[in-house]
Amino acid sequence: MKFMLLTRAADYAVRVMIQMAKLPEGQRTSLPELAANTNAPQSFLSKVLQTLTKAGLVRSWRGNEGGFEILAPGRNATLRTVVEAVDGPLFLNVCLTSGDSCELERHCPAHEVWVRAQSAVMNILDEVSVAQMALGHQQTHGAKLQQISELPPRQQNG
Amino acid sequence: MKFMLLTRAADYAVRVMIQMAKLPEGQRTSLPELAANTNAPQSFLSKVLQTLTKAGLVRSWRGNEGGFEILAPGRNATLRTVVEAVDGPLFLNVCLTSGDSCELERHCPAHEVWVRAQSAVMNILDEVSVAQMALGHQQTHGAKLQQISELPPRQQNG
């Protein structure tokens, strides 16, 4: 068994948000289309989209003319925002769940390393927005990589 | 529900390894002692120690005079080695499970960000050994933090 930080639902959420962000503002898309484009089972993706809608990142319409549209907060959302909208706050280790403190911190020299690792991941996930990722897709692969690596480095806490 | 990269077992493994590394070479300790020092249930910790023994990081003796001793590879093991001995390879996201590639990579601009985040975490977990953490514990908290932040930065892949 492989342990991962992200659930499948969060992974699909990121992919589906990027798909929707590739469309011009105001353009809706359907569940079957999104499912086909993200390689996701429709029933599962439907629940993911419901969560993203509740989080205010996506708008949904019912009926034949219905579908889904990404909203401005969705385009501006960082990778971290999308993932946490589905999975809730992400933690590398249980010792981080109460902020930077831990009941055992004074006894555990590993805690500070976990704080640094957590901070490093979150900084990277905070750097890129859905809109940037959607844009990156339309460029050549090389240009996309360059664009991302040129983002200003963030100060790491601690 | 909170999602975490590490299992509880891996978290206990790190704590118990640090506890053992604080002892002089060749000195054994008992399961009840380790359980008390790490705040872990004995039955659960016993399984964790079995895994660490199988991984060659710890040696165990049966009987009244028995107990557990950390071996040289255990003292030298990095935080990552200990965690992966229990949980197997760690991945932030499913798209990273087949190395740096992903079946959807050409279609998914988030992949490169996940690669960078994964690399950042692993570099930090690779920087610190069990012995260093055990040593850090004996110093003042401030000195420990300084010691860790003074480690040479690693080159990040990608």
User: How far away is chain B from the Cα of A158, in angstroms, using its nearest Cα?
Assistant: 9
Task: Give the predicted TM-score (pTM) of the model.
Answer: 0.78
Contact (Cβ atoms closer than 8 angstroms) between residue A95 and residue B107: no
| Residue B3 confidence (pLDDT) above 50 | yes
Task: Please tell me the predicted confidence (pLDDT) of residue B84.
Answer: 95
Q: Out of A4, A94, A145, name the one closest to residue B93 (CB).
A: A4
User: Contact A7/B3, CB-based, under 8 Å?
Assistant: yes
Confidence of residue A140 (pLDDT cuts 50, 70, 90): very low
Interface residue B9 vs chain A (CB under 8 A):
no
Q: Across chain A, what does the average pLDDT equal?
A: 82
Find all residues with CB under 8 Å of A64, minimum gap 6, and list them. none
Find all residues with CB under 8 Å of B87, minimum gap 6, and list them. A3, B6, B7, B9, B10
Give whichever of A98-112, B21-35, B96-110, B127-141 has the largest mean pLDDT. B21-35
pLDDT tens string A23-76: 999 899 999 999 998 888 999 999 999 999 999 999 999 887 789 999 999 999
- Topology of A1-89 in CATH? Arc Repressor Mutant, subunit A (1.10.10)
User: Contact B5/A8, CB-based, under 8 Å?
Assistant: no
- Comparing A27-31, B6-10, B48-52, B90-94, the range with the smallest average pLDDT is B90-94
From B4, B79, B98, select the one nearest A121 (Cα to Cα). Answer: B4
Q: Which residues of B61-94 are buried (b: 16+ CB within 10 A; e: fewer)?
A: eeeeeebbbbbeebbebbbbbbbbbbbeebbbbb
User: Contact A104/B11, CB-based, under 8 Å?
Assistant: no
pLDDT tens string B126-145: 999 999 999 985 443 444 33
* Cα maximum dimension of chain A: 60
**CB-side neighbour CA atoms (13 Å) of A90:** 27
Which residue has better confidence, A21 or B93? A21
Which residue has better confidence, B156 or A59? A59
Q: With pLDDT > 90 as the criterion, what percentage of chain B qualifies? A: 58
Interface residue B100 vs chain A (CB under 8 A):
no
Task: Please tell me the predicted confidence (pLDDT) of residue A95.
Answer: 80
| Residue A146 confidence (pLDDT) above 60 | no
Mean pLDDT of B109-134: 93
Task: Please tell me the predicted confidence (pLDDT) of residue B146.
Answer: 39
Q: Across chain B, what does the average pLDDT equal?
A: 82
| Residue A145 confidence (pLDDT) above 60 | no
| Separation CA B44–CA B31 (nearest Å) | 11
Q: Residue ranges of the domains in chain B? A: 1-89
Q: With pLDDT > 90 as the criterion, what percentage of chain A qualifies? A: 58
Interface residue A9 vs chain B (CB under 8 A):
no
pLDDT tens string A97-120: 876 566 655 567 888 899 999 999
| Separation CA A28–CA A19 (nearest Å) | 11
Give the C-alpha distances (Å, rounded to integers) separating A2 from A47, A96, B7, B68. Answer: 24, 21, 11, 28
Optimal mutation site among B19, B22, B108, B155, interface A, most CBs of chain A within 10 A: B108
